[in-house]
A and B are shown apart, each in its own frame.
Chain A
Amino acid sequence: KQEVTQIPAALSVPEGENLVLNCSFTDSAIYNLQWFRQDPGKGLTSLLLIQSSQREQTSGRLNASLDKSSGRSTLYIAASQPGDSATYLCAVYGNKLVFGAGTILRVKS
């Protein structure tokens, strides 16, 4: 059974810092990995999708890497802003999408 773990559970940083969110998964037989953002009371917004054959994806200030063999992914956020404050979810797609519990990020101005 696939299990997805996200570390840290919560993170508070001053504006402008670069930060890294970690995701690990137990079964490396995945098709892709997705990072989502969830704002309070709202649905999920897809940030980046990395296919299993890819090593990383970039979108603006976000960079996600994938090491399938070791079962790890990182989401790097450069020059963090207060608007980045949200819960960040990692999900891996094997025969279904399995989510981690998320990292709650707070960027202080």
Chain B
Amino acid sequence: GAGVSQSPSNKVTEKGKDVELRCDPISGHTALYWYRQRLGQGLEFLIYFQGNSAPDKSGLPSDRFSAERTGESVSTLTIQRTQQEDSAVYLCASSLTKLAAYEQYFGPGTRLTVT
């Protein structure tokens, strides 16, 4: 079946521009997660959604980052006024629910480069 998909796969943007990254979770998965992976570093948790609500936004690095989810499906991560330190691979994952018993399935990621 279809897995988690993300678009675009690669994005190059100029410093100061806004970008939107999209995630399509596995159909029926109510929990959705965003992570960031900087070059040579581990994954950092950014935010998760249960349904369309985001109970935990603690991982968002600054107020330039925001995310929304609609229809308990597609999610968009928006970065405003991008900075060079935002360059990273942004990974999205989904799971059946937020309960820890369920595995998270990851998308291929969006590689963001801020020049």
Contacts and interface: CB of A to CB of B under 8 A. Distances in A.
Contact of A89 (B42, B48, B105): B42
A91 B56 CA distance: 18
Contacts of A44: 91, 93, 106
A51 B43 CA distance: 21
A31 B41 contact: no
A44 B91 CA distance: 9
A43 B45 contact: no
Interface residues of B, number: 22
Given A42-B108, A43-B106, A44-B106, A93 B45 contact: no
B42 A32 contact: no
Interface residues of A, number: 24
B104 interface: yes
Contacts of A34: 103-104
B105 A46 contact: yes
Interface string A24-51: 0000000110101000011111100101
A100 B108 CA distance: 19
A101 B41 contact: yes
Contacts of B101: 31-32, 51
3 closest A-B pairs by beta carbon, nearest first, are: A31-B100, A44-B106, A99-B43
28 contacts: A4-B42, A32-B101, A34-B103, A34-B104, A36-B106, A41-B111, A42-B109, A43-B91, A43-B106, A43-B108, A43-B109, A44-B106, A45-B106, A46-B104, A46-B106, A49-B103, A51-B101, A89-B42, A89-B43, A91-B43, A96-B45, A96-B48, A97-B33, A98-B45, A99-B35, A99-B42, A99-B43, A102-B42
